Amino acid sequence: MTRFSADWSRRAFLRGALATGALVLPGTGFLAGCATSGGGQEQTEGEKTADNPLGVPTDQPLEIYIFNGGFGDKYATDVHQPMYKERYPDATINHKAEVDIAGALQSRFVGGNPPDFVNDSGDGQIPLGQLVSDDQLYDLTDLYDAPSWDDPNKKVRDTLVPNAALSGTFGDKPYAMHMALTVFGLWYNKTLFDEKGWTPPKTWAEMTALCKEIKTAGIAPWAYQGVHARYMTWPLLTMAAKLGGQDVLKAIDNLEDGAWQHEAVKESANALAGLRSAGYYLAGTEGMDHIQSQNAWSEGKAAFIPCGSWLESEQKDVTPEGFEFAFTPEPLLSDDAAMPFETIYAAPGEPYIVPKQAKNPRGGLEYMRIMLSQEGAKGFTKETSSLTVVNGSAEGVDLPAGLTSAKTALDAAGDDVVSWMYQTWYAKMWNPGINAHIGDLLAGRTSVDEFTAACDGEAKKVRDDDSITKYTR
């Protein structure tokens, strides 16, 4: 599952190009040479029919790469690929599961011979912005405008949660389909809280009061994934948006000068930094990776931990009996906040792409249409314990306690759902940029003012770099 983007730099891309004989045209970032071989946006279409609205070549092989991470690949082999084979029995599916997507596919992208469908996720994710800039991705507009798998009178885009297509859009075109709908917030053990009589706080004043009580009970109030401190950008920006409104996040995405030094961002950073000065973080958490910190939390050493809704699935093998995962939104920093307590950060994640030079790109689109069907989405949820971007796809599915809790919070939020795009549009600004700075803040190495100034500096680097394509919302 995607939680961060690897720094798949232009230098690394060039190394792969040299290894395969491909060239990058100076000053353009576009691949030349053998990268022009293979398929293309207007090529390899079959006859379009009611049962085949995307014009899939019915007997052409389909090559698929799935990231073999937290979600595994059974949802592909046991759900989506059988559906494809049933519709197109003459097509052969070549399935591969990989941990390092960039390592497996870099040379194939620059060589003009990529697979037809890629789950671009994990530590070795190829940054989407880089692929878009290098003109390597197939435009998914036809997918979203196609009749849905279940109802030919309804377009695919109309069967999805709001902004599902927008999450993979660069400029005015969608280039990535995000399948998983991740809900982000604070997690706690409901069994422990019920036993202690603790109630998840709705305001920061309630949070600090509860932290004092939790610490007195011999438990650290908070843990976080210190080596991957980016996890703490999620409560940071969510609480800032609750305090100052959605425009705080839009200014950050739009690289506006001073956006990171907005008072709402500073107030949120001050609250999180204050947990350290009060001794409310688990000792040593700043040096733990996500596995170590989450395991410590599961063992009852800490009460709260920030994470996405994949947490329950990720921890299932190490969580003790009787532990009940529960989700709560981040507290309000002020009584006069711009948005209500129920506001949460929820975003489509787990990106899937069709390379522009694929031999069977229409088959790749059709595979996505299958994934976005009710059967495909329900199967994804059952196999991965993740919500999806398909409306109603969790209905009738037996969800575990934590995911049920997260879905309840998502339903309660209604339209008060926030998200941001800078980490998708500008991978290096996000990681190591902002992520390194919040790590320094939470470890006490920098002040709030130094943190926000440093983050503004990262935005300025992107803003002033003419080689980086800019996007706005």
DSSP 302-322: EEEEEEETTHHHHHTTTPPTT
Are 243 and 334 within 8 A, CB to CB? yes
Q: Tell me how many degrees the CA angle 42-46-51 measures, rounded to the nearest 5.
A: 120
DSSP 340-398: -TT-EEEEEEEEEE-BTT-S-HHHHHHHHHHHTSHHHHHHHHHHH--EESBTTTTTT--
What is the reported pLDDT for 46? 83
Residue 417 CB: number of other CB atoms within 10 A?
Answer: 18
What is the reported pLDDT for 253? 97
Nearest to 361 by CA among 169, 140, 108: 140
Q: φ and ψ at 29, to 5 degrees?
A: 80, 0
What is the reported pLDDT for 24? 35
Distance CA 165, CA 177 (A): 7
* 179 half-sphere exposure, CB direction, 13 A CA radius: 32
Q: Could you report the per-residue pLDDT of 118-142, keeping only the tens digit for each?
A: 999 988 999 999 999 999 999 999 9
Structure tokens, 57: 């070549």
Q: Which residues, 6 or more positions from 160, have their beta carbon under 8 angstroms from its beta carbon? A: 372, 389, 390, 391
What is the reported pLDDT for 45? 77
| Amino acid type, 373 | S
Right CATH for 184-346+421-464 from 3.10.129.10, 3.40.190.10, 3.30.499.10, 3.30.2000.10: 3.40.190.10
Domain ranges of the chain: 10-181+348-401, 184-346+421-464
What is the reported pLDDT for 410? 94
CATH topology of domain 10-181+348-401: D-Maltodextrin-Binding Protein; domain 2 (3.40.190)
CATH topology identical between 10-181+348-401 and 184-346+421-464: yes
Nearest to 18 by CA among 6, 37, 34: 34
**DSSP classification of residue 300:** T
Where residue 284 falls (left for φ over 0; alpha for ψ -120 to 50; beta otherwise) is left
Number of residues assigned to the chain:
473
Structure tokens, 103: 């390592």
Report the DSSP beta bridge partners of residue 188: 326
* 388 half-sphere exposure, CB direction, 13 A CA radius: 29
What is the reported pLDDT for 40? 47
Point out the residues of the chain with pLDDT beneath 70. 1-44
Are 379 and 144 within 8 A, CB to CB? no
pTM: 0.83
Place of tokens 């994990």: 122
